[in-house]
Amino acid sequence: MIILADDKQDLTPRMIVECLDRYIVGQEKAKRAVAIALRNRMRRRNLPRDLANEVAPKNILMVGPTGVGKTEIARRLADLVLAPFVKVEATKFTEVGYVGRDVDSMIRDLVETAVAMVKRVKIEEVQGPAEERAEWRLVDALLPRPERKTSMPDFMKIFSGKEAEETPPQEEDTIRESTRNKVYALLKAGKLDEREVELEVAESASMGIPILGGAGMDSMGMNINEMLSGLLPKKTKKRRMKVSDGKKLLQAEEAEKLIDMESVAREALDKAQEEGIIFIDEIDKVVARGTSSGPDVSREGVQRDLLPIVEGSTVQTKYGTVKTDHILFIAAGAFSSVKPSDLVPELQGRFPIRVELQPLGREELARILVEPENSLIKQYQALLSTERIEVRFSEDAIEEIAAMAEKMNAEMENIGARRLHTMVEQLLEEISFTAPERQGEVVDINAQFVKERLSPLMEDTDLRKYLL
């Protein structure tokens, strides 16, 4: 379910949780926290400007093992309201300035996402005019303009002894315009789709030569091609293709020409500042473990670098400056060997809302297999239905898969719901392999079938080392 911009104000916290329930099983506390945070953003937009500027977003820290839905909650929340969303891993910023990434790059990535979102909407709005312009370009390509003959000079007419017969220019233009209209009518009717035409189109390939420098150079967010794009004319080349393919290509070109990129950039900057969501994963990996030397120094350095971004600062991007004061930050980590209180105090204070996500047990794993929209079982059933094979899972089969996944999570690394992907893939491996030869079959999967296929995986400890 996608909520359009006009409907955002009507989106209550209860509605947000209900929408998230369609994709994520359990974790009610986390869903309520993000729902309230999102609703507060909508409330802030209705406040007087002076007061709205003082209302800071209530950033959220999610604590829980991997595979329990932390990333999925944040991603689905952004999709729900068409908000720019970026996921980054805190470990990317380790030893920033040496081999890590510049912390500001997350804001530039967010702006790029916002620009792409706004541009996509703007391009959709101009598809009508772009299509018409593309069609007339195709007509001109199908009906090239003949070179008009130069009139004979008067002194040559005298020597030739006769007047040369020429079609008046006005008559030529009238005939050509009539022909163009006829070709356009044929094009609109789709009668020329299979005909080949030679078109002059802009080259899409860029130089892509990055500026030389260290890890921090990506903060400039540009390459040589971007620097010179305003100075050098776009290269074009002639390509021969079908009219139907050419129309799509020219329509995309014309749509690009019709949108105002300055307007897109302004709207994207506002969208990133006011609606952007940044998900910082693995934040527990940059927590110092009680020492002040070695790699722990760089870990604490990353926290110090994250602090001004989360606190509110101005970041320069190639589209303009971005204030991070009202971007919603959602941080997450397993915190298995460290505690949230081990974060530097200033950073802790910038994540006032803390929610603990519970590990997934047998019941939750069973529900995850079948309940969410486009769940894992539904995906495999749909894939195999393309081979005309109907796969049916009994309730005891679902329970058995969940029980085995819970056991493997307990005996090995607990990777939560991600374990189900391996289990189901192993379970259906033979069916998937032989599917083209078994078209029209109905395959019933019960608990006995699950045990036969997955018991070797459960018992072979050596094999389990190489599987999730």
Q: Annotation-wise, does 418 bind a ligand? A: yes
CA distance 387 to 374: 19
Nearest Cα to Cα of residue 303 among 336, 350, 335: 350
Query: If you write DSSP's letter for every residue of 179-222 in order, what string do you get?
Result: HHHHHHHHHHTTTTTTSEEEEEEE-------PPP--GGGGGG--
Look up residue 89 and give its two tokens: 């891993």
Q: Annotation-wise, does 26 bind a ligand? A: no
The backbone region for 199, taken as left when phi is positive above 0, alpha when psi lies in -120 to 50, beta otherwise, is beta
Look up residue 48 and give its two tokens: 């007087």
Q: Annotation-wise, does 346 bind a ligand? A: yes
CB 316 within 8 A of CB 24: no
Indicate the burial class of 61 (C-beta count within 10 angstroms; 0-12, 13-18, 19 or more).
Answer: buried
Q: Annotation-wise, does 312 bind a ligand? A: no
Nearest Cα to Cα of residue 415 among 368, 451, 373: 368
Q: Annotation-wise, does 44 bind a ligand? A: no
Q: Annotation-wise, does 254 bind a ligand? A: no
Q: Backbone phi, then psi, for 322, in 5-degree steps? A: -125, 130
- In the DSSP assignment, the letter for residue 283 is G
User: Which residue type sits at 243?
Assistant: V
Q: Annotation-wise, does 68 bind a ligand? A: yes
Look up residue 320 and give its two tokens: 């303009």
- The number of angstroms, rounded, from the C-alpha of 175 to the middle of its chain's C-alpha atoms is 50
CA distance 464 to 426: 12
CB 11 within 8 A of CB 90: no
Q: Annotation-wise, does 67 bind a ligand? A: yes
Query: What is the rounded radius of gyration, in angstroms, for the C-alpha atoms of the chain?
Result: 31
Q: Annotation-wise, does 113 bind a ligand? A: no
Look up residue 354 and give its two tokens: 């803390």
Q: What share of the chain is helix, strand, coil (3-state, %, to 5)?
A: 55, 10, 35
Largest Cα–Cα distance of the chain, in whole Å? 107
3-state secondary structure of 329: strand
CA distance 21 to 166: 77
Q: Annotation-wise, does 70 bind a ligand? A: yes
Binding-site annotation: residue ranges: 25, 67-72, 281, 346, 418
| Numbered residues of the known binding site for ATP | 25, 67-72, 281, 346, 418
